[in-house]
Amino acid sequence: MTIQQLTTTERLAKAREAAKSKREKKAAAILARANGKIIAAEKRAQAREELEILFEQERALVLEKIARARKALGVRKNEDNPIGITRLIEQWKMESFLRISGIY
């Protein structure tokens, strides 16, 4: 049957059915988008937490190396770092950064 052969009530019923289907599809798309945003936010939060843990581990490693170097050179608590340790600190920080970024 063509559209011209349908009665007015049949045309209205088909139009209502099509409109209902369109609303349902739109609602499903909105829900899927919202769920996707929630999942993405959870993944970002987890990645941020893992990165913070990695930064803390690297920071602790550098501080441990500094403490060992100061002890080996006999530097007291209130004294500044000697220039040799200062250079090593910069090197250790760079190595730490490279490890975090995955290059080293």
pLDDT band at 103 (very low <50, low <70, confident <90, very high): low
Q: Which of 2-6, 59-63, 72-76, 78-82 has the lowest mean pLDDT?
A: 2-6
pLDDT of residue 1: 55
Terminal-residue alpha carbon distance, the chain: 71
